[in-house]
Amino acid sequence: MNDNSAAENEWEVRPGGMLVQKRNPDSENRPPPPPIRVRVKYGSIYHEINISPQATFGELKKMLTGPTGLHHQDQKLLYKDKERDNNAFLDISGVKDKSKIVVVEDPLCQEKRYLELRKNAKMEKAAKTIADISFEVDRLAGQVSAFESIISKGAKVVEKDLVKVIELLMNQLLKLDGIAAEGDVKLQRKMQVKRVQKYVETLDVLKMKNSATSSNGNHIPKQESSPSPHQHQHQRRYSNEQASSPVQNQNGRHSFANSPTQAKHQEPSRHSASGSVVITTQWETFDPAPGPLLDHYSTTTQSNNNHASSAQPRFNWDLL
């Protein structure tokens, strides 16, 4: 019984769960033991390593990274044809000065490490992409706040600007949906998705309010369009006809309809709109002549057609 109790007191459980031989507490106050030289074989080459006997096999693997070129996680150490754990101590395992240890490459550990590296690189890339998206969303959030401030005051914004910002936010949302992440990166992606969705919903509400503002008439009224050249010409022609109508009525009253002199005066008015206005003004200034005089003037003009200037009667007209 005493032998079994003594044997149980010689072992202890390490924090990693490994059962090791219990050290003497008094040994901690003693000076460290001198280093030992171990011979490590890798392939056909031997490497001599100076190391403390109280070191672990994991520490020995890190020291062999330089001479062998193997990553410490890809190594497998064999001592007395038995694989040793990384947490095992050299002296407790029986390693002494000039002991022989064999190191080999572990393909399973190497593949596991490569997968871990790829996973970490993927997570880093995803985290960087999410950071870029977050920066872009911050920029678009400023525009959303500006639109909200303008519309809340009753003003109107261009609807194309609202639609453009919504499309940019939806593009960022599609980028977030295409990111495969785990752990903290997944939480960051989820947070950005909720943020983008919130801004899109806000813009949809602002778009409805902006449309309501336009329907209520709170917008800049359109200026009356200027008449086209065709309409302007039509108006001028209509005004000329109205201006010339009193003259025609007056000419009808004084029997100038059949006289050649009236035809000469009316001929330029058919070709020039501006001339008709001037002639109309001059005709309106004339005083009406007596009926007998006008009849005599008409008869004289018809009889002397070739000599109209000599046969024309002379009246004392007041020229204005």
Residue type, position 300, single letter: T
| CATH, residue 175 | 1.20.58.120
Decide if 149 is inside a domain: yes
One domain for residues 123 and 211? yes
One domain for residues 97 and 68? yes
Decide if 60 is inside a domain: yes
Decide if 249 is inside a domain: no
On the 0-12 / 13-18 / 19+ scale of CB atoms within 10 A, 89 is: buried
One domain for residues 172 and 86? no
One domain for residues 142 and 60? no
Domains in the chain: how many in total? Answer: 2
Q: Which of 86, 105, 124 is the last residue of a domain?
A: 105
Distance between terminal CA atoms of the chain?
156
One pLDDT digit (tens) per residue for the chain, 320 residues:
444 544 555 677 766 666 666 666 555 566 788 889 999 999 889 999 999 988 999 999 999 999 988 988 889 999 998 999 989 999 898 899 989 999 999 888 889 889 999 999 999 999 999 999 999 999 999 999 999 999 988 888 898 999 999 999 999 999 999 998 888 999 999 999 999 999 999 999 999 998 887 666 544 444 444 444 444 454 454 444 444 444 444 444 444 434 444 444 444 444 444 444 445 555 555 555 555 444 444 444 455 454 444 445 555 655 65
- Return the biggest CA–CA distance within the chain: 172
Residue type, position 86, single letter: N
Distance between CA atoms of 190 and 134, rounded to whole angstroms? 12
On the 0-12 / 13-18 / 19+ scale of CB atoms within 10 A, 120 is: exposed
Q: Which of 185, 215, 245 is the last residue of a domain?
A: 215
- Of 271, 108, 101, 124, the C-alpha closest to 183 is 124
Decide if 72 is inside a domain: yes
User: Which pairing describes strands 100-105 and 36-42: parallel, antiparallel, or unpaired?
Assistant: parallel
Phi first, then psi: give them for residue 89, nearest 5 degrees.
Answer: -85, 150
pTM reported for the whole predicted model: 0.47
One domain for residues 27 and 75? yes
Strand partners, 45: 42
The set of residues, in sequence order, having a beta carbon less than 8 Å from that of 11 and lying 6+ positions away, is 19, 20, 21, 22
Domain range for 61 is: 2-105
Decide if 174 is inside a domain: yes
One domain for residues 7 and 101? yes
Q: Which of 84, 105, 126 is the last residue of a domain?
A: 105
Strand partners, 102: 41, 78
